[in-house]
A and B are shown apart, each in its own frame.
Chain A
Amino acid sequence: MLVTHTDEKEWWVNLLNRTIEGFANLIDSLVDLIDVDGGEESDTFRRTRPTQLTELSADQRDRMAAFVTERIDYARRTMPLTEHEWAVWEAGARKCYELVGVPWPGEVVKVPSPVVGALAPPIAESVIRQLGKSKSGISVESAVRSAVDSAGRSVPSVGDTPLAGEALYQAVRDVIDATPSGVFRSAFDGMPATPMYEEIHSAVSRRMLRTCFYEAFEPVLYAVPDVDTAIRTPLHAAVCAVSSAKKWRIPLAGRSQVGFDVGWAFLRDVAALDLDHETRENSLVIENSQSAGCWWPFHEFVVVCGLPTELHTETVDGSSRLHNADGRAVRWGDGWGIHAWHGITVPCDLIENGWDAKRIMAERNAEVRRCAIEHIGWDRFVTTAGFKLIDQAPDPANPGQVLRLYNVPRSVLDHRARILLCVNATTERSGTRRVYALSVPTTCRTALAAAAWSFDVPEQAYEQLARAT
């Protein structure tokens, strides 16, 4: 990956600014939620309207669960959009252009996967530049073809997916066709601000807002994996591999990104909030601009991605995260996708082929390294990587089985830990016993202490276990 120092710095400053902005917004809303407890209203900075919504009717409360399920299905959808749904998206995107005061470009470049959408504009830009420079007229077709081929070599995930390469070729052609002047600029890089939120805020009580936050927004948020964040790093890396990092544009949200809009939608659609017609329409239309996949608005054209075709998740402690041990965790129409191990985005070959100890140790990202180890299994890794056995002890109430404590070299994990290998007390149907590994803190000096720590009980108590199965 070619990232110059200044580009990288700029990217980080950009990210930092966004993060600070995000935190400021979050703190604002939290302060709103917290500072008046018990549902009292403060009128100091809020104009109270006579029809302010303060509670839900029994019927509205009953519809809460159905609303949540519907929004979860909406965000997790893996069926392609219909003609009509695309028209709804387009009307929403048009409205966003209108709100920021940029004329609607009319040219919609639909791409099957986010990587195609992220790569097409920078590749088109370089092709246009190259065509302008060259005197011996190369055809657009061959210039695009060679640029896409070279992108396939720089970005293996595209190179290994023939359909993505084909889609990229088509998208680059579309972008070039949409820009006769040969120059294009980003139209806006965030959702347009409207007075809508203040309008909605003033129409609901804080207690209502809190209900909405905990009962409508949070359940949806926890049930939908954060695909947009998971694809950001691979997309950024792909753009940096084919052009300057300056060409990286963070896509606008698609339907898989759950924002507090869910709360607004509940108030608007289910709670029949008293809003003027324009506010109601605006909030609906802006939401529609996020009803397809992620998108990139330009002055000359708009690039938009379709919905994924596969989504593999697991639910842990009540929240959903991406995970697929056998293939892509998210896959789009052209076959491009990302791999994830228990919520962590990992390289393709880790899942598809599995890494050996040497490859694992060469991985620089500790989180990915841990995923790779878990993928082959700590028990196997501990023995093949030759970790030092510190202590072993009979497993209480598990006759014949031994607890083994190993030291993990500092180079393996980014935190100090030891590994305790345990053998199941129950045999599998095949007659074998499953071996599993637990990572424990280095303060555990013996195997027994490590097992006791895992249940947070005194060593003596664990030693006196009456029965284990």
Chain B
Amino acid sequence: MTAEFNSIEDGALAQWEFDADVPVLAGAQRQGDVLVLPAQVAATTVVPTSGTAVLVGENAGNSHVIYAADGPAYCDIVTPYFENLRIATLTVPVGSTAYLGHAEHGYMGIAPGNYEIRRQREMAARVRMVAD
């Protein structure tokens, strides 16, 4: 997953450095069809330097990827279904910062804390996930 992300979007991401323009926030933040929401959770999987793709875009589209900066971050991937939209849990320890990156939407800084990452849904004849 991450390999795919790197090969497709390395170039696009280069223009976005983790710079001071990206606010690091502890509240709820939305990146396109993905929502980062403070929650009572604890993730245990270490985010590698190549990042953890929490949502892989359709048809070589853009992925939403979590990166760790300043220290380690933990992110567990969860399979969502229509009643539970959680696609990942994220734990950012004190001293670390996590970034959610996307080639079109840029970066979103996430302050230390526990979060869940949700995907957007819509109403079809049966409820389905939004295909970005």
* A contact set with B: CB distance below 8 Å: 314-317, 342, 366-367, 370, 397, 414-415, 417, 424-426, 428, 438-441, 454-457, 461-462, 464-469
Q: Is B37 an interface residue (CB 8 A)?
A: yes
Q: For the complex, give the distance between the alpha carbons of A366 and B125 in Å.
A: 10
Question: How many chain B residues have a CB neighbour from A under 8 Å?
Answer: 30
* A469 and B105 contact, CB distance less than 8 A: yes
Complex contacts, A314 vs chain B, CB 8 Å? 58-59
* B105 and A457 contact, CB distance less than 8 A: no
Complex contacts, B124 vs chain A, CB 8 Å? 370, 415, 439
Identify the closest chain A residue to B25 (Cβ): A466
Identify the closest chain B residue to A317 (Cβ): B129
The SS class assigned to the A binding surface is: mixed
* B108 and A467 contact, CB distance less than 8 A: yes
B11 CB → nearest A CB, Å: 13
Q: For the complex, give the distance between the alpha carbons of A462 and B29 in Å.
A: 9
Q: Is B123 an interface residue (CB 8 A)?
A: yes
Q: Is B78 an interface residue (CB 8 A)?
A: no
Complex contacts, B35 vs chain A, CB 8 Å? 455, 457
Q: For the complex, give the distance between the alpha carbons of A366 and B85 in Å.
A: 26
B105 CB → nearest A CB, Å: 4
Complex contacts, A438 vs chain B, CB 8 Å? 120, 122-123, 130
Q: Tell me which residues from 8 to 66 in chain B have a Cβ below 8 Å from any Cβ of chain A.
A: 23, 25-32, 35, 37, 58-59
Identify the closest chain A residue to B84 (Cβ): A456
* A466 and B131 contact, CB distance less than 8 A: no
* B106 and A426 contact, CB distance less than 8 A: yes
Q: For the complex, give the distance between the alpha carbons of A466 and B118 in Å.
A: 15
Complex contacts, B31 vs chain A, CB 8 Å? 468-469
CB-defined A-B contacts under 8 Å, sample of 11: A314-B59, A315-B59, A415-B125, A425-B105, A426-B32, A439-B123, A441-B123, A456-B118, A467-B25, A468-B30, A469-B32
* A456 and B85 contact, CB distance less than 8 A: yes
B132 CB → nearest A CB, Å: 9
**B37: which of A439, A454, A457 is its contact (CB, 8 Å)?**
A457
Complex contacts, B23 vs chain A, CB 8 Å? 467
Q: For the complex, give the distance between the alpha carbons of A439 and B121 in Å.
A: 9
Identify the closest chain A residue to B85 (Cβ): A456
**B29: which of A315, A417, A465 is its contact (CB, 8 Å)?**
A465
Q: A314-B58, A455-B35 are in contact. Are A461 and B30 (CB under 8 A)?
A: no
B66 CB → nearest A CB, Å: 15
Q: For the complex, give the distance between the alpha carbons of A456 and B124 in Å.
A: 15
Q: For the complex, give the distance between the alpha carbons of A64 and B129 in Å.
A: 31
Q: Tell me which residues from 72 to 102 in chain B have a Cβ below 8 Å from any Cβ of chain A.
A: 84-85, 102
Q: For the complex, give the distance between the alpha carbons of A438 and B127 in Å.
A: 11
Pick the 8 closest A-B CB pairs, nearest first: A466-B27, A468-B30, A469-B105, A438-B122, A467-B29, A439-B123, A455-B35, A466-B25
Identify the closest chain B residue to A429 (Cβ): B104
**A469: which of B30, B129, B131 is its contact (CB, 8 Å)?**
B30
Q: For the complex, give the distance between the alpha carbons of A440 and B122 in Å.
A: 6
